Amino acid sequence: MAAKRSSGSIFDAPDLRREFEKVDISLNFIPFIWKYVIKNPNCKWDDIPNLPSAAYPLLHSKFRTLSSSLHSVVESNDGVTTKLLIRLQNGAFVEAVIMRYDTRLGKYGGKPRPGGLRSTLCVSSQVGCKMGCKFCATGSMGFKNNLSSGEIVEQLVHASYLSQIRNVVFMGMGEPLNNYAALVEAIHVMLGPPFQLSPKKITVSTVGVIHAINKLQKDVPGLNLAVSLHAPVQDIRCHIMPAARAFPLEKLMDALQVYQKNSQQKIFIEYIMLDGVNDEEQHAHQLGKLLENFEVVVNLIPFNPIGNLSEFRSSSEEKVSRFQIILRGVHNIRTTVRKQMGQDISGACGQLVVNLPDNSSINGLTDIEDLHLR
């Protein structure tokens, strides 16, 4: 459940729709209100022109323009990554991360990619996480609360003041499919006016919550799905991701088959490289075999050790490279190695740390967010 709030976010679409319908206000005013709030974040409700008169008292009594606030912003030294620390209405903090890519520097089919500078925003869907993945410090803090759909959307609003966001990835703190209703609502808001993101530009990452995977495909078709597989066999998966016990690998792969058949989209497979755990040649072959009937892109993620929190070590570059060669060369699977970004601000995978700039603790938490960036 989302934490109880005194007045909701204007970006909580179901609440706003319900309240408007109660007093017969056209829902067509909603995108107009959002657009005004985005352009004028410090506005008062009375500033918004041309709303039906019944809208003003309703907005005053039930909603806030932004229910969260941007507490601080930390830039990486290279200016490529920006970490946003956002304070929710209940006093908890979450992080969102902006990553900037210059596609003109890349090559695609021998030509520079179109598009130029683009930004991807990684958003959080929960405070904490109950999945307990051992390589992720978020897992060690347990689950605190779900974000409302408005709080998820507000991360995009805060980020849009700093950068033009073209892609959104649900790879921040939390398991998005464990906060399913808010996730779907937030995505619907992002797809509509005034945000108008394309579903192809939104990626939802999951550890493999089987029952929700195909529901998501039906509820929001066209999204990208990223699956944190991290091991080619169930026992290693359970060792590094205890929640995987509830999601047997065989059943997960069956669900992904159905998902791919229905969606006709490739699936992104995330694989964190842990020295001596899942990075041996036999694991590469097992993974290749497991994925042989899928259209996938495998993303190998160099592990970022998080202080002394972790029992794991990073795989050597040679091992990562060998793993990639086997998947590509022997099993013909498109395989990339994730570029590390933002390590100097703890904004890289598994390193996102909710730290106030003065390093004081927040509500006694040392929140470390996994960023499953795919």
Position among 37, 129, 156, 298 found at the interface with ligand SF4 (CB under 6 A):
129
Q: Which of 244, 307, 309, 312 is nearest to 273 (CA)?
A: 312
Distance between CA atoms of residues 184 and 208, nearest Å: 17
Catalytic residue among 95, 154, 270, 369: 95
Count the Cβ atoms, other than its own, within 10 Å of residue 79.
8
Count the Cβ atoms, other than its own, within 10 Å of residue 102.
12
- Closest distance to ligand SF4 from the beta carbon of 111 (Å): 36
Position among 125, 138, 263, 299 found at the interface with ligand SF4 (CB under 6 A):
138
Which residue number, 123 or 207, has a Cβ lying nearer to ligand SF4? 207
The answer to the question of residue 347 lying near ligand SF4 (CB under 6 A) is no
Which residue number, 36 or 271, has a Cβ lying nearer to ligand SF4? 271
3 state DSSP class of 43 = coil
CA angle 359/364/367 to nearest 5° reads: 65
The answer to the question of residue 270 lying near ligand SF4 (CB under 6 A) is no
Residue holding tokens 């996102």? 352
Distance between CA atoms of residues 14 and 21, nearest Å: 10
CA atoms within 13 Å, Cβ hemisphere of 52: 13
Which residue number, 10 or 182, has a Cβ lying nearer to ligand SF4? 182
- Closest distance to ligand SF4 from the beta carbon of 116 (Å): 31
Which residue number, 19 or 369, has a Cβ lying nearer to ligand SF4? 369
> Mask of contacts with ligand SF4, 200-229, x by CB under 6 A?
-------x----------------------
Distance between CA atoms of residues 16 and 148, nearest Å: 13
Position among 9, 96, 99, 139 found at the interface with ligand SF4 (CB under 6 A):
139
CB neighbour class for 361 (10 Å; exposed up to 12, middle 13-18, buried from 19): exposed
Distance between CA atoms of residues 86 and 125, nearest Å: 12
The answer to the question of residue 37 lying near ligand SF4 (CB under 6 A) is no
349 is catalytic: yes
The answer to the question of residue 92 lying near ligand SF4 (CB under 6 A) is no
The answer to the question of residue 370 lying near ligand SF4 (CB under 6 A) is yes
The residues binding ligand SF4 (CB under 6 A) are 129, 131-133, 136, 138-139, 173-175, 207, 370, 372
Catalytic residues: 95, 349
